[in-house]
């Protein structure tokens, strides 16, 4: 065990296994913190060395408040599968072809996890909470004689849509990439194009259907499923998914809202590459609700030419903005190429001279920025973490989806919740570095979408009002007595009952 501290056996011991990707690990570490705050609960995180380093500031701040989270390190077999030493997170994978190697390395962690659960950790673990990517967690939990809970980092709406798309085989009837079809079985009308649906239903990709079948079986065998969402926003989809999967479902989000202190918001995720004080001072100098925050996530793989179009569109919108330029990890070549293109165009020079924008290369404290009163809109790639953080801040969004669940989240924002404006992306792009996705969105598209989001008029004001109301519901969900707060207690009691009944 990672500490010499003696812990009473009667405490309920949860072991938490996050997947090695920022969009997965950040909310699951937040969940681990929430568990650890509860009485009579012990939490142990299983992390590889590089990912342990990334979350040390978060764990340190929790410890300062008397919330102890234990850590056991897993040796990540990067070199054994042909990856560079220290390549322990998805955003560090050097190129697209090596993604399969990375996934193979994660599967090789099974013997270490088994050994920890069965022999090394004390007191005896009573529950394994694992990211849904870890298929081996089912066998590990079975051998250890403990319940397994799956943590889904994606919205329930997305899972329900993809379930009905796949089980109905409706894509067999749709040949054109841009032909709309209605998703069968949904509680209300939801339409996608074939291209938009691909992210979660890639029936043409070899092995994908078999992989999805394994996911379904993994869910059915689980003790329950956890979603980072909240009842007031997704009640219908949560209950419908509960029926189709015939298992327990708990909504516990938005977990980002449990980070209330300044330091917690800053330390969430990787270390910031921007001076936090500088960023705060710049925002403090802006009028309330006037700034656009633009960030396309930690796995952004747009070409330099497409990134320049985005920058020029932000500039042309006439709005003040913070633009976080990410490349997925530390891609110095991509950063250098873009800065050279910026220099040729004079973009950064004009932005700096006017004082109207702040361009950040790398990582920024997103939750802190989104919660600042000066920010009035969010241009996002629609990853679920970012989407939910924007919702929690009460911000309407300009949507620029890439892949996987991004188009589903765009559908939720724009068509269901009606707090989003599409920038106009139509094609799913491939995940990973070294992928040329071309130019889908031009500067005029960006300019027009931002003006639509931030401008005046009845519909624009109504959109902003809906966003604010949704944020209030999110905050109530995590407060004492709220649905998400109560569900945390239900998870603990359900696991306690299982262990008592199985004795």
Domain ranges of the chain: 12-257+479-497, 271-476
Higher pLDDT, 352 or 79: 79
- Maximum Cα–Cα distance across the chain: 70
Q: Give the three-class secondary structure for 44.
A: strand
Give me the pLDDT at residue 209, please.
66
Per-residue b or e along 37-72, where b marks 16 or more CB atoms closer than 10 Å to that residue's CB: beeebbbbbbbbebbbebbebbbebbeeeebebbbb
12-257+479-497 and 271-476: identical CATH topology: yes
Sheet holding 224-227, edge to edge: 70-73, 41-47, 12-17, 127-131, 148-152, 224-227, 248-251
- Residue with the two structure tokens 């992989």: 211
pLDDT band at 3 (very low <50, low <70, confident <90, very high): very low
Q: Which CATH architecture has domain 271-476?
A: 3-Layer(aba) Sandwich (3.40)
Mean per-residue pLDDT, 232-257 = 94
SS3 at position 434: coil
**What pLDDT sits at residue 65?**
83
The pLDDT > 90 percentage for the chain reads 60
Of 221 and 42, more confident: 42
Residue 328 and residue 140: Cα distance in Å, rounded?
A: 31
* 56 vs 502 pLDDT, higher one: 56
Kindly indicate the confidence band of residue 7, based on its pLDDT and cuts at 50, 70 and 90.
Answer: very low
What is the C-alpha to C-alpha distance for residues 335 and 324, in angstroms, rounded to an integer? 12
Burial of 499 (0-12, 13-18, 19+ CB in 10 A): middle
- The span from the first CA to the last CA of the chain, in angstroms, equals 24
pLDDT of 259-287, one tens digit each? 665 555 554 455 445 678 888 889 999 99
Q: What is the pLDDT at residue 274?
A: 64
- Domain 12-257+479-497 belongs to what architecture? 3-Layer(aba) Sandwich (3.40)
Q: What percent of the chain has pLDDT over 70?
A: 89
Averaged pLDDT score across all residues of the chain:
88
User: Rounded mean pLDDT of 108-135?
Assistant: 92
- pLDDT value at position 216? 77
Backbone dihedral angles phi then psi of residue 112, each to the nearest 5 degrees: -65, -45
As a dihedral over the C-alpha atoms of residue 266, residue 269, residue 272, residue 278, rounded to 10 degrees, the angle is: -30
Which residues, 6 or more positions from 181, have their beta carbon under 8 angstroms from its beta carbon? 170, 173, 174, 191, 192, 193, 194
Q: What is the spatial distance between Cα 355 and Cα 453, in angstroms, rounded to a whole number?
A: 22
Q: What strands lie across the sheet with 375-380, from one edge to the other?
A: 357-361, 320-325, 291-295, 375-380, 397-399, 420-422
Report the distance separating Cα 405 and Cα 408, nearest Å.
Answer: 5
More reliable by pLDDT, 307 or 79: 79
Packing angle, helices 231-245 and 483-502, rounded to 10: 30
pLDDT at 273: 55
Q: What is the mean pLDDT of residues 314-328?
A: 87
Q: What pLDDT band is residue 362 in, cutting at 50, 70 and 90?
A: confident
Contacts 24+ apart (CB under 8 A), 349-355: 350/315, 351/311, 351/315
């Amino acid at each position: 065990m990672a500490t010499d501290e003696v812990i009473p056996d009667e405490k309920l011991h949860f072991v938490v296994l996050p997947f090695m990707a920022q969009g997965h690990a950040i909310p699951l570490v937040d969940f681990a913190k929430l568990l650890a705050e509860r009485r009579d609960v012990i939490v142990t995180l299983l992390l590889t060395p590089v990912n342990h380093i990334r979350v040390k500031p978060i764990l340190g701040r929790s410890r300062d408040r008397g919330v102890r989270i234990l850590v056991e390190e897993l040796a990540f077999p990067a070199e054994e599968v042909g990856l560079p030493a220290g390549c322990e997170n998805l955003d560090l994978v050097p190129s697209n072809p090596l993604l399969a190697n990375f996934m193979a390395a994660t599967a090789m962690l099974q013997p270490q996890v088994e050994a920890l659960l069965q022999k090394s950790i004390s007191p005896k673990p009573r529950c394994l909470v694992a990211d849904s990517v870890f298929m081996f967690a089912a066998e590990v939990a079975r051998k250890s004689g403990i319940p397994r809970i799956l943590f889904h980092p994606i919205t329930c709406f997305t899972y329900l849509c993809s379930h009905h798309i796949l089980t109905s085989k409706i894509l067999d009837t749709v040949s054109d990439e841009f032909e709309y079809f209605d998703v069968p079985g949904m509680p209300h009308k939801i339409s996608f194009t074939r291209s938009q649906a691909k992210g979660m239903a890639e029936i043409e990709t070899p092995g994908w259907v078999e992989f999805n079948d394994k996911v379904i079986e993994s869910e059915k065998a689980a003790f329950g499923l956890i979603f980072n969402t909240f009842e007031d926003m997704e009640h219908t989809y949560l209950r419908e998914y509960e029926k189709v999967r015939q298992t327990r479902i708990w909504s516990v989000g938005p977990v980002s809202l449990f980070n209330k202190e300044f330091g917690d918001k800053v330390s969430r995720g990787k270390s910031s590459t921007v001076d936090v004080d500088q960023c705060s001072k710049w925002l403090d100098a802006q009028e309330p609700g006037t700034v656009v925050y633009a960030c396309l996530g930690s796995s952004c793989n747009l070409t330099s030419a497409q990134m320049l179009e985005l920058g020029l569109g932000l500039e042309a919108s006439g709005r003040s903005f913070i633009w976080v330029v990410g490349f997925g990890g530390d891609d110095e070549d991509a950063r250098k190429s873009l800065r050279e293109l910026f220099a040729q165009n004079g973009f950064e020079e004009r932005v700096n001279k006017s004082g109207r924008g702040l361009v950040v290369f790398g990582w920024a404290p997103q939750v802190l920025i989104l919660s600042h009163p000066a920010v009035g809109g969010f241009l996002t790639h629609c990853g679920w973490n970012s989407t939910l953080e924007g919702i929690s801040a009460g911000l309407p969004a300009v949507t620029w989806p890439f892949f996987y669940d991004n188009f589903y989240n765009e559908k939720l924002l724009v068509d269901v919740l009606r707090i989003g404006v599409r920038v106009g992306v139509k094609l799913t792009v491939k995940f990973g570095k070294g992928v040329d996705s071309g130019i889908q969105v031009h500067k005029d598209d960006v300019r027009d979408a931002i003006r639509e989001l931030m401008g005046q008029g009845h519909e624009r004001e109504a959109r902003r009002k809906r966003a604010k109301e949704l944020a209030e519901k999110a905050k109530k969900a995590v407060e004492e007595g709220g649905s998400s707060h109560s569900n945390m207690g239900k998870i603990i009691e359900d696991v306690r009952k299982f262990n008592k009944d199985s004795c």
